[in-house]
Amino acid sequence: MTVPVIHVTAPVGPAGAPLVLLGPSLGTSTLVWDPVAAILGSRFRVAAWDLPGHGASPATTLPFTVGELALAVLDTLDALHEDRVHSAGLSLGGAVGLELMLAAPHRVIAAAEVCTGAKIGTVDGWITRAATVRAQGTASLVGASAARWFAPGSIARHPELAGRLLNSLRDADDISYALCAEALAGYDVRGKLGNIEAPVLAVWGEHDLVTPESSSLEIAEGVVRGRVERVADAGHLAPAEQPEVVAGLLAGFFEGAE
C-alpha cells in the first residue's frame, strides 16, 4: 500500500466552528476553491488539500489508488487533530470524498460531491492521458482542459481566474499528474454507494461534459441519503465559476446536517 503525502492548509474561520475540508480536481490546486472558501469562512472553519505534485503537495513517483488518497486525507485530519469533518470534493477530490466515507464513515458528518462521479471517464481514456503527460507534460493538456473545465463564455468573463487555474495545470508535476490519472483508471465505487450512510449532496454544472447530471444522480440515488443540485452556467469547475451559488448550496447543506 502506498499512501502519498499531501499538503493541507491551516484551518481558517471562527474558533470552534465545524471544519469543512475541500478537495481539488485533477490539474488544479486549493486555488480552485478559494472563492468558495472565502464565503464559507464566515460560518465554518475551512481547510483545503492538494493532490500529489499539485500546489503545495510534494511530487511522488510511487503509484497509488484513489482509496489511498483518502487514507492520505485521513492522515491530514489526524495531524490537524480533527475527529469529524464536512467533506467537499471537486471531481477527483469528490472521488476521494466517496472513498473517505467508505474507509472511515465515522469521520465524515456530511459530504458534498461536486462535479464528480462514482466512476469518472474510461479506463482507456485515463491511461492514454497518463501516457500523453509522461511524454509531453501537463502543458500539452491546457487547450483541451480549458474546453472541459469552463462553461461557454466563462473564460472571457473571468480571464484572470481561468488563467491562474490553467497555470496550475502547467505547474503540476508530470509524473504525479500521470499517477493521479492512472488512479482514476482504477477507480469505481458504483457497487459500494449503498454503504455510504452520511448525508450526501451531489452537485453538477449545467455545461459539465466530464461528470454530467447522470453522474450526480447515480451518486444521490446510490447512497442511503442523497440529493442533487444543479449549478447553472457552470462547467466542470463550478466552484470557481459560480462560487456564490456553490458556497450557498454547501453552507445550507452542511448546516442542515449538524
Q: Which residues pair with 108 in a beta bridge?
A: 85
Which cell goes with 77?
Answer: 485530519
- CA 221 to CA 234: how far, in whole Å? 23
Mean residue pLDDT across the chain: 96
pLDDT at 24: 98
- Tell me the domains of the chain and their CATH numbers: 19-257 (3.40.50.1820)
Range from 41-50, 157-166, 227-236 carrying the lowest mean pLDDT: 157-166
Helix (H, G, I), strand (E, B) or coil at 8: strand
pLDDT at 158: 83
pLDDT digits (tens, 9 = 90+) for 135-183: 999 999 999 999 899 999 888 888 998 999 999 999 999 999 999 999 9
Range from 146-150, 205-209, 249-253 carrying the lowest mean pLDDT: 146-150
Q: For residue 22, give the amino acid letter.
A: L
**Residues 55, 67, 185, CA angle at the centre, nearest 5°?**
80
Which pLDDT band holds residue 194 (cuts at 50, 70, 90)? very high
Q: What residues contact 39, with CB distance under 8 A and at least 6 apart?
A: 243, 244, 247, 248, 251
Whether pLDDT at 1 is above 80: no
pLDDT at 166: 95
pLDDT at 152: 93
- CA 53 to CA 180: how far, in whole Å? 9
Whether pLDDT at 75 is above 90: yes
Of 225, 226, 182, 179, nearest to 202 by C-alpha is: 226
Which pLDDT band holds residue 224 (cuts at 50, 70, 90)? very high
**Sheet of strand 85-90, all strands in order from the earlier edge strand to the far edge:** 45-48, 19-23, 85-90, 108-114, 200-205, 226-231
Contact of 141 with 129, CB cutoff 8 Å = yes
* pLDDT over 90, % of the chain: 94
Mean pLDDT score, 39-59: 98
Whether pLDDT at 87 is above 90: yes
Mean pLDDT score, 73-93: 96
Q: Which residues pair with 201 in a beta bridge?
A: 112, 227
Q: What residues contact 139, with CB distance under 8 A and at least 6 apart?
A: 169, 170
Mean pLDDT score, 28-32: 97
Query: What one-character DSSP code corresponds to residue 24?
Result: P
Mean pLDDT score, 190-207: 98
Which pLDDT band holds residue 88 (cuts at 50, 70, 90)? very high
- CA 219 to CA 252: how far, in whole Å? 19
Contact of 86 with 33, CB cutoff 8 Å = no
pLDDT at 32: 97
pLDDT at 204: 98
Phi first, then psi: give them for residue 196, nearest 5 degrees.
-95, 115
